[in-house]
Amino acid sequence: MFGVVFPNRSFPIDISTFTQIDTFHWILDMNTFVGEAYDSIREVCIFLLNNFTLPADKALAVYIQSPGSQFLFVGAVTLARPSAVLSLPWPEPGAGGGLNNHITAPDAPPLSAKIGVSVEDLASLPSLDVMAEKKIERLAMKVGENLFNFMQSFCGVDGSKLVVPMDILDRWFKKFQERAKRDPEYLKGFAL
């Protein structure tokens, strides 16, 4: 049905490594893979296997869970997008008051991080790649902040209004392009 790879950390892992909860849900206990160092795993590549056909209106959704936290959606794959490398922004342990957020007996096994995969309706999912959207948002914020700071150095005040030269956007964009050409590392500072 599906497999996963942890880039630079594992060979392909097939569905047999996951614990099947029911027909549509699987869990990978990260303790069996990396022990308590689950947060050192920052990405997962999930892919559909060639012989598996997922209905067009369904997706394999991927979730992560730190010890004691709720599951957090990180992305999905579909027939149209049969593989994806997803970022794993592990929640703080115990955050969110999930089902595992309770006091355990001293001899109880330690709670572990998990990766969950489930078959879900494509229409019910917020995005196929949550972290990619957040990176785009942060990029837009950084570029907007750069523009604002540039404009501020040319502003005047007229009552309660800021006054800027008419060609301020052209000047900013020209300076932005020149700096990017001169310093290849400059644009990397905008990527997160």
Q: For 83-108, what is each residue's pLDDT tens digit?
A: 999 888 888 876 554 433 333 444 44
The predicted-structure confidence for 7-44, as pLDDT tens digits, reads as follows 887 888 888 889 999 999 999 998 877 777 888 888 99
- pLDDT for 191 beyond 90: no
**SS3 of residue 7 by DSSP:** coil
Mean pLDDT, all residues of the chain: 80
- Rounded-to-integer distance, Cα 89 and Cα 69, Å: 13
- Rounded-to-integer distance, Cα 164 and Cα 157, Å: 9
Decide the pairing of beta strands 43-48 and 2-5. Answer: antiparallel
What is the band of 131 on the pLDDT scale with cuts at 50, 70, 90? Answer: low
Q: Which residue has the higher pLDDT, 169 or 137?
A: 169
Owner of token pair 């902040």: 145
With beta carbons less than 8 A apart as the criterion, state whether 44 and 113 touch: no
Nearest one of 17, 74, 75, 13 to 49, comparing CA atoms = 13
For the chain, how big is the Rg over CA atoms in Å? 23
